[in-house]
Structure 1
Amino acid sequence: MRGGYERSFSERFPIREITPLDPEFPERLRQIPDCPSCLYLRGELPSDHSPSVSIIGARDGSPYGREIAEAFAGALAGRGVSIVSGMARGIDTAGHWGALKGGGRTYAVLGCGADICYPRSNYELYERIAEQGGILSEFPAGTAPLPANFVRRNRLISGLSDAVLVIEAKERSGTSITVGHALEQGKQVFALPGRITDHLSFGCNQLIRQGAELLSCVEDVLSFLHLEREGELLLLPPKEGELSKLQRKVFSALDTKSIHIEELSRLLGLPTEKLSGILLELELLGFSESPKCAYYRRRCFQKTAEKGEMEKRDGAEGPCNISKDLLGF
């Protein structure tokens, strides 16, 4: 009986092969170093036009860590944010389930062939992800889940995301590899603080000391993604005459997703020295921002509830309260 069901599942979600030459290949992955030459997909690909966040952490995550991962994933997914992870035990699994329960989309990047569910205990999750998102791998069907494959796939987890949330991590763990890729790719890293005596919090606390954003509530992430509570993304268009022709050209090339100055230079055909000066001017005028060294994006604006005016979103509105933000969404 089970064999018939598995055949039915495979027929409904056949494995497709996608290369960078295909228009649907994720644009986020085109921009990372060591872009995969091929993706094997069961289900759908993450949309280039929707915000995406990866949730990662320890395989032996604590009940608290798993609860937080599931709650954050559910709240973000409910606001249209795609959740990316690796379908490992612990934090990864909790993040995927949170997104599914939140009615959103989630994507698993495997360290084996897309036809293999690893760990086997996650078979129900594997099926649900294919139905409500996608299973991705750069390894051909039948590839065994070898340790080296998981190390290699980590760059794709961060590459598919606009931000990386580290929920729990030991001092030395595979999570640090994903974080390293995220920093190299210019992605924002958030880390959940924990007790200084908790070995599952050593990695997160160290990341915060090294400059990662402290993760205290869902609004921290929504603010970074420039998402209002309704999930609406608003951009302030430049007013006629406020920007010079060259400033307008550079501004038009910027998006809400960060882009490296070298890539922007190639797109516009401008030398980086000249471009950096224009970007500084746009930043001083309030039209752009630099979330990380050498990376730039448009600055976003939202309407105030009281006046209906456009105002700069410099941070979260009001104090963050975990129970309110997680349970109130």
Structure 2
Amino acid sequence: MPHDSALPAWPLLLRAAGGRAALRRLVEVHGDAEAAVAAGPRAWRAAGLDEDAVARLRAPDPDRLARDRDWLAQPGHHLIGWDSPDYPALLRRIPSPPPALWVVGDPDWLWHPQVAIVGSRSPTATGADNAHAFARAFAQAGLTVASGLARGIDAAAHLGALAGGGATVAVMGTGPDQVYPGAHRELAARIAAHGCLVSEHPPGTGPRREHFPSRNRIVAGLALGVLVVEAATRSGALITARLAGEAGREVFAVPGSIHNPLARGCHALIRQGAALVEEAGEVVQALAPVAAELAEALRGRLSAAAAAPTFTAQTSAAVKLPADPDYQRLWDALGHDPAGLDELSGRTGLTVGVLSSMLLLMELEGLVTADHGRYARRP
């Protein structure tokens, strides 16, 4: 799928830094980034760009733009703008979505049903083990795990998803070429190979204190729900949980010992209405309705059947599939012996990201079984 339309225009707009809302408004009014750039200073001001941003658009920094072009020319590097059909549907719904996303890896994973796992940067051994175990179980159930690439719970979640044979998405508080903390460079490379790294900041942007709370809204916005594992009463994880609730997403919390100060944030969330969960299956079951909604949006993105994801087109006396012909193609490719995503991709011609979304929906409907990332028809 093409992910890189209007590449020269989007770096210009993002480097102008005219504010998220103003950039989105400018692009919406003119249809796409190229038309927005060509519209000129009067249109830029009318959209809400201040004079500094207008000046940067009129006389852009050639060194920074060259850096952006060089970065985008590398394999696996993408820029997805607000005007792109590949912009994640769920992220569009948050109060302040980023105008564009810099992505390392496969951007299709941004459309896959995700659950975010967040928590303390200094967890107990039990907390880190719980995050790893939940993430591994989510991956084996067909969900992608999102987190923020930080130390502690974030890292345990990313590693658990990878151990489960699944994909994971890391939202960065730096530019896409700057891994923070530096000790996570190897982890970041593994995530890019089995998921993707995402940032709203252009290449060369180093770690800044104000970027990390802002990053949390993207973690929450990409996910169907957020699971908090060990968090103090004042922590970034609770900010993520609050943002998730404000965006209409599900919030889950793992309870802990009353003697553990890192359990108090989770207990506070539970008192405020977050779902207390003890195993991954509870989260998967709770997210089933919104996962189906995301599958519907995905089919619209692929210009497939516009019908809601109800199983209506009967293929046999016992099995019903959506009217979308891709589901019939996938069903025909599935057998009674488990097959991995790469094998199914080869059989169907569909991308791994698209297949994952479809298989999750079919699993929730009881049509397929999933075991360690391999899928088969349910007997």
TM-score strictly above 0.5: yes
Aligned pair partner of 1:18 in 66, 80, 89 = 80
Higher helix proportion (structure 1 or 2): 2
Does the alignment pair 1:210 with 2:272?
A: yes
- How far 1:194 sits from its partner (Å)? 0.7
> Per-residue displacement from partner, 1:117-172 (whole Å, max 9, x unpaired)?
11011111010001000010001111111110001111000000001000010011
Does the alignment pair 1:119 with 2:181?
A: yes
Q: How far apart, CA to CA, are the structure 1 residues paired with 2:147 and 2:111?
A: 19
- How far 1:301 sits from its partner (Å)? 7.5
Sequence identity percentage? 41
Unaligned 5+ runs, structure 2: 1-70, 290-294, 296-307, 314-362, 373-379
Q: How far apart, CA to CA, are the structure 1 residues paired with 2:221 and 2:254?
A: 21
Q: How far apart, CA to CA, are the structure 1 residues paired with 2:173 and 2:198?
A: 9
Relative to structure 1, the CA distance from residue 79 to residue 167 in structure 2 (aligned partners, 3 Å threshold; closer, same or farther) is same
Q: How far apart, CA to CA, are the structure 2 residues paired with 1:117 and 1:167?
A: 23
In structure 2, the residue corresponding to 1:147 is in which secondary structure? coil
Q: How far apart, CA to CA, are the structure 1 residues paired with 2:144 and 2:239?
A: 21
What is the aligned-residue RMSD (CA, Å)? 2.9
**TM-score normalised according to structure 1 size:** 0.66
Does the alignment pair 1:109 with 2:166?
A: no
Q: Is the 8 A contact 1:191 1:212 kept in 2?
A: yes
Q: Is the 8 A contact 1:66 1:91 kept in 2?
A: yes
In structure 2, the residue corresponding to 1:64 is in which secondary structure? helix
- How far 1:78 sits from its partner (Å)? 1.2
Match runs of 1:130-279 below 5 Å: 130-226=192-288
Letter aligned with residue 95 of structure 2: P
Q: How far apart, CA to CA, are the structure 2 residues paired with 1:48 and 1:69?
A: 21
- How far 1:212 sits from its partner (Å)? 0.4
Q: How far apart, CA to CA, are the structure 2 residues paired with 1:48 and 1:107?
A: 8
Letter aligned with residue 125 of structure 1: L
Q: How far apart, CA to CA, are the structure 2 residues paired with 1:152 and 1:238?
A: 42
Does the alignment pair 1:27 with 2:92?
A: no
Q: How far apart, CA to CA, are the structure 2 residues paired with 1:17 and 1:226?
A: 30
**TM-score normalised according to structure 2 size:** 0.57
Q: Is the 8 A contact 1:27 1:48 kept in 2?
A: no
Q: How far apart, CA to CA, are the structure 2 residues paired with 1:82 and 1:12?
A: 25
Q: How far apart, CA to CA, are the structure 1 residues paired with 2:260 and 2:155?
A: 21
Relative to structure 1, the CA distance from residue 180 to residue 46 in structure 2 (aligned partners, 3 Å threshold; closer, same or farther) is farther
Q: How far apart, CA to CA, are the structure 2 residues paired with 1:302 and 1:175?
A: 32
Relative to structure 1, the CA distance from residue 149 to residue 49 in structure 2 (aligned partners, 3 Å threshold; closer, same or farther) is closer
Relative to structure 1, the CA distance from residue 18 to residue 199 in structure 2 (aligned partners, 3 Å threshold; closer, same or farther) is same
Letter aligned with residue 210 of structure 2: A
Q: How far apart, CA to CA, are the structure 2 residues paired with 1:113 and 1:14?
A: 15
Q: How many residues get paired? A: 235
Unaligned 5+ runs, structure 1: 1-8, 228-232, 240-299, 305-325
> Per-residue displacement from partner, 1:240-270 (whole Å, max 9, x unpaired)?
xxxxxxxxxxxxxxxxxxxxxxxxxxxxxxx
- How far 1:225 sits from its partner (Å)? 2.4
- How far 1:16 sits from its partner (Å)? 2.1
In structure 1, the residue corresponding to 2:192 is in which secondary structure? helix
Relative to structure 1, the CA distance from residue 186 to residue 46 in structure 2 (aligned partners, 3 Å threshold; closer, same or farther) is farther
